Structure 1
């Protein structure tokens, strides 16, 4: 009798185990894989799908054809480390201590009580893996299970190193971050008029077709001077982006071969705008309005263009939502746009918060875009606008600086370097942000309304720079951890 009972218990245990295993497998299969592909300093100016007829980006263009392309997607700070902390935390950098660059003597690190996207996904059963540029700290806050190594300038090699992750038995989150098209070392060319390489090199990279552009044929954005130096550097920038495109194509080919395409969400973004003066490190449109292409095979949305306003602070809650992971919405400053992907104008406000790039570049700016109006508050407006070291040394800027010409593109050099406290633009009528309405008659009500929105935003996101409004010290702490 005892023997029979033991056998029955054994059979029941096996059945329960198999049943649980099947339920777990079903739960796994219900969760999509997610690839977040992040370029370094890539603006909307240099992707075919966004209107550039010169650059060759067939794989990114295909992604746009198969998904949704956002035309009003914004980072919160046009600086690499600060932006990446927001992408992976869902909180503004001024609230997490991620004020600027994390590396070397800058040392801006995220508070260790923050729970980041990879940690939350890992707790929910995802395999989390990263490759390429990291640029956030501390590691225990932004912890990934798997760290893959490859040349971050060779995106084809990077893709090949992701093979095991793509074949994972678990749902996976792959954080794929290139060094392209960031400016390459050395930042200070010799002679000064030599264009930066943007990571390009003679002979190219193994497995990557070298695509070279004629400087005479590149498209010079309106905010830049149309000079020999600008064109030569833009040509190098284009070449670096074509390398990204090939690596992205390789990754998509490998994904197709695994048979997981129909259960994998792919998101392509950049951390900030192109590495030219007037874009990167500024909060003007070329610095913070960026590419964002989302392909979600679980939604029947293909070849759509979406004008709704979204922000990188929304990415963490959005990805958690896509992954069907429960989370407390109050833990994030951003809001999931997963349900808004197919809605053209679901949102009408975004905010930006820039404080540092390098530690020597103190120039805090806060931004609100509401509808077509955009307000920039230059908190340190009495200071000369600081240059990132690589942008200062660029031949594009040096050609203007050394010749002592009055204009940098459409703006006067003195207006670029010395800015008013407030800049108010109507982006529908003035997309190039050339006419400041902040001190124009008749715009006082709009200016005051936008200031009010900024103050509310700062209070809601625990921004220490709230004190700069009439010495408001409501967020001032005691200096003692309680």
Structure 2
């Protein structure tokens, strides 16, 4: 599919503006004349592919609240995570640092001593800074969030439901607690992370679903997509709840509501990969006082850019020690450009059922994506490759060329991959070996090498050191942090965050 046609379909600007007019007429957030510092709500999904929302062009999945949010705000269509797994992604958002530089580059990892996060930057600007829901970061002293609804701070490690049931009542209370002091609240949902057992999957008849082009059509794939879509709709309902909390607070006009989808779903070619299905984020920003309703920006940006954006919103100065840069002017429509390149890394060492080492690095501009597989001689594997669903791909591949190709290219990849995102948005055709791409390969590789050097990323050597940032090393640091009031429960988060 031509990328221009693809973007026209997913953007659907006329439909969004029509939806905006209707939605705003019916459910316009209460506006105030408040000239104080803006409030900020950040709602994070868990393993949601960017294209699996109605407002991103998916005609199967039902996401009325996120569609409403998009109609009332701005969709950032070229926003990227820094990694395709939970822990590095979240810690990049909270610290403004790329994963290797912060130290949290494998999954289930913790940052280096001295790394600062949102509370360190926003509290001095007069903000209350809280978090409800999934944590998956550490150590505690680096993330001194307030944990609404938890008397002891973080979740109780012995509570089996602590990381599964988000306390939305606590979120509402935090929003309404003090109208005189600005706040930043992170609402970290647990959906739609597998095993996709929330929501009503019966709404999505497997036989009626249109599969995205990178998935192999088998009954197990269709059943998985049905269950996943059911949980996406469940997540959408929770987004609607939090939107209502803000809208009823009387401060909606002066509140940035930022939704981010995190990395893609765990279906093949999403999570754990640096394809766009894995690292492009469905990002929506609503701020009635500043952001034009129904607008879209294709400016390249990353999760590390949110922290400096929040700082600028709160009147703070830019911190030159972080990697992110403010995108406030993009949000307000004053600028159409934020970055020339976005970068990402995947460290498979230490993931559940993963290979001993399968490091991946990537760089992309507004058209081209360059992927470097550091250990391409190895076979990629994870929990997904062990599922009956993936094995149904392998079985079908015995007689079906496409199934065979998709199963094989998920597990065995060349050292270098290059994709034309305009004409191949789902990265189905590697063109790295085409003679006319030598200039692109050289330019992008130079940008990637420069970034890796700046980050202290030594490639394979850095990959082999990954376990020092997780596992027993993590436990040792946690023990050193003691049982303070803000001690995050990474044990429970890790159990649910493969």
TM-score band by shorter chain is 0.7 to 0.9
Aligned counterpart, 1:378? 373
Residue pair 1:48, 1:55 contacting (<8 A) in 2 also: yes
Distance, in Å, in 1 between the alignment partners of 2:287 and 2:407 is 44
Residue pair 2:148, 2:170 contacting (<8 A) in 1 also: no
Alignment match of 1:174 (pick from 185, 207, 210): 185
Distance, in Å, in 2 between the alignment partners of 1:143 and 1:404 is 50
Does residue 1:458 correspond to 2:462, yes or no?
no
- Spell out the pairing of 1:135-214 with structure 2 (5 A cutoff): 135-148=136-149, 158-169=167-178, 170-184=181-195, 198-200=196-198, 212-214=203-205
Residue pair 1:379, 1:421 contacting (<8 A) in 2 also: yes
Q: What does the per-residue CA deviation read over 1:325-360, in whole Å, with 9 as the maximum and x for residues that have no partner? A: 2242x2111211111222445544211122236444
RMSD: 2.3
TM-score by length of 2: 0.78
Alignment match of 1:85 (pick from 82, 91, 101): 91
The 3-state SS of whatever aligns with 2:436 is coil
Distance, in Å, in 2 between the alignment partners of 1:408 and 1:153 is 37
Q: What does the per-residue CA deviation read over 1:75-128, in whole Å, with 9 as the maximum and x for residues that have no partner? A: 1110111111111111111112112222xxxxx211121011122212322111
Larger radius of gyration, structure 1 or 2? 1
The 3-state SS of whatever aligns with 1:456 is helix
After TM superposition, give the deviation of residue 407 of structure 1 in Å. Answer: 5.0
The 3-state SS of whatever aligns with 2:78 is strand
Does residue 1:368 correspond to 2:377, yes or no?
no
After TM superposition, give the deviation of residue 465 of structure 1 in Å. Answer: 2.1
Aligned counterpart, 2:345? 353
Residue pair 2:298, 2:336 contacting (<8 A) in 1 also: yes
Distance, in Å, in 2 between the alignment partners of 1:211 and 1:435 is 35
Distance, in Å, in 1 between the alignment partners of 2:100 and 2:279 is 17
Distance, in Å, in 1 between the alignment partners of 2:363 and 2:67 is 30
The 3-state SS of whatever aligns with 2:371 is strand
TM-score by length of 1: 0.80
Alignment match of 1:56 (pick from 57, 62, 65): 62
Residue pair 1:67, 1:303 contacting (<8 A) in 2 also: yes
The 3-state SS of whatever aligns with 1:162 is helix
Does residue 1:236 correspond to 2:237, yes or no?
no
Q: What does the per-residue CA deviation read over 1:387-440, in whole Å, with 9 as the maximum and x for residues that have no partner? A: 2x2x23434312123555365658343333221111111111222222222221
Aligned counterpart, 1:41? 47
Distance, in Å, in 1 between the alignment partners of 2:168 and 2:461 is 46
After TM superposition, give the deviation of residue 259 of structure 1 in Å. Answer: 0.6
- Paired residues in the alignment total 411
The 3-state SS of whatever aligns with 2:317 is coil
Aligned counterpart, 1:411? 405
User: What runs of 5+ residues in structure 1 fail to find an aligned partner?
Assistant: 1-27, 103-107, 185-197, 469-482
Residue pair 1:375, 1:425 contacting (<8 A) in 2 also: yes
Distance, in Å, in 2 between the alignment partners of 1:415 and 1:255 is 45
The 3-state SS of whatever aligns with 1:161 is helix
Aligned counterpart, 2:330? 340
Aligned counterpart, 2:214? 223
Q: What does the per-residue CA deviation read over 1:154-199, in whole Å, with 9 as the maximum and x for residues that have no partner? A: 56xx332212211132211111011110002xxxxxxxxxxxxx13
After TM superposition, give the deviation of residue 297 of structure 1 in Å. Answer: 2.2
Distance, in Å, in 1 between the alignment partners of 2:194 and 2:295 is 32
Aligned counterpart, 1:123? 124
Aligned counterpart, 1:109? 110
TM-aligned CA distance change 1:121 to 1:408, over 3 Å: farther
Distance, in Å, in 1 between the alignment partners of 2:220 and 2:58 is 20
Distance, in Å, in 1 between the alignment partners of 2:404 and 2:426 is 9
TM-aligned CA distance change 1:408 to 1:81, over 3 Å: farther
TM-aligned CA distance change 1:252 to 1:152, over 3 Å: farther
Residue pair 2:349, 2:359 contacting (<8 A) in 1 also: no
Residue pair 2:48, 2:265 contacting (<8 A) in 1 also: yes
TM-aligned CA distance change 1:29 to 1:166, over 3 Å: farther
TM-aligned CA distance change 1:138 to 1:430, over 3 Å: same
Identify which range, 160-169 or 210-219, moves more after superposition: 210-219
The 3-state SS of whatever aligns with 2:273 is coil
Aligned counterpart, 1:4? none
Aligned counterpart, 2:10? none
Aligned counterpart, 1:285? 276
Aligned counterpart, 2:294? 303
Aligned counterpart, 1:7? none
Identify which range, 356-365 or 64-73, moves more after superposition: 356-365
Identify which range, 111-120 or 396-405, moves more after superposition: 396-405
- Spell out the pairing of 1:311-322 with structure 2 (5 A cutoff): 311-322=302-313
Residue pair 1:32, 1:322 contacting (<8 A) in 2 also: yes
The 3-state SS of whatever aligns with 1:331 is coil
Aligned counterpart, 1:401? 394
Distance, in Å, in 2 between the alignment partners of 1:177 and 1:218 is 28
Aligned counterpart, 1:188? none
TM-aligned CA distance change 1:84 to 1:408, over 3 Å: farther
Alignment match of 1:423 (pick from 382, 403, 417): 417
Residue pair 2:263, 2:281 contacting (<8 A) in 1 also: yes
